[in-house]
Amino acid sequence: MYRDVPLSGREKLRLRRAMEKRAAHYPLQYITGSVEFMGIDFSITPGVFIPRPETELLVETALKAIGTGSRTAVLDLCCGSGVVGLSIARMSTGTEVALSDVSGKAVRLAIKNSERLGLRSRAEFYTGDLFSPLPMSKSFDLIVSNPPYVPCGRMRRLQAEVLEEPARAIDGGRGGLETIRRIISGAGRRLGRDGMLIMEHDDTHKEYLEALCDHDGRSGLRYIKTINDLSGLPRVSVFSARAGQGVLA
């Protein structure tokens, strides 16, 4: 692209090393230190899950929910680098977001991204397992999550690039449902009246999620719908607190 621009010896060495890493299937995003999501440039570092384009559907669905009601308190659960919660904050100026992840490294990166985007004053950060680090008194209008959901039996068949990412951000355990079950079990107690849970999941999970919330009153959630991604696969499901009516049916 820039054949007329001479490179210094140090630049040539950096470029050669980057090419060697990429040739060995090291993720390009880790090499460049950045990833684009929802048209926004985010920092990314090794050891933190790399956001996928299909997760933009999760943000788009959340923004639709926010736009049809008074949902201003948002929780991004399993936030990783913060792209979901921070994109929502960037595109919906009336929202306050809380971001939580079990990985301290991911939370530190999410804080860095919030500062780069000028969103630090509208974001709170928590490190710990799912809902556990959040104050017991804290509830939300909307919970969004892109949890680990790849079935463990499929992990060994993933691309070499994916295997460079942290396994605990990808491996969803048996059937890919271990973390998802725990989120559904706890989300109802963290949602206010008319609150909603919007969650990304594997394309094999739709029927299970629908049945779980329809027949398990203990979850405190009501299944509303599942939205297909651009490949036509069921990717994002929407739930409401049972006391509420929902707005995306």
H-run or E-run covering 85: helix 83-91
Active site residue 147: yes
DSSP-based three-state secondary structure for 206: helix
Q: Edge to edge, what strands does the sheet with 123-127 contain?
A: 123-127, 96-101, 73-77, 140-145, 191-200, 234-241, 221-228
Q: How far is CA 222 from CA 79, 197, 214, 237, in A?
A: 23, 10, 6, 11
Options 125, 131, 140, 147, the catalytic residue: 147
Q: How far is CA 221 from CA 4, 14, 145, 195, in A?
A: 60, 51, 15, 9
Options 27, 37, 42, 49, the catalytic residue: 49
Options 27, 51, 146, 234, the catalytic residue: 146
Active site residue 53: no
Active site residue 113: no
Q: For residue 228, give both structure tokens.
A: 């297909």
- Positions annotated as catalytic residues are 49, 146-147
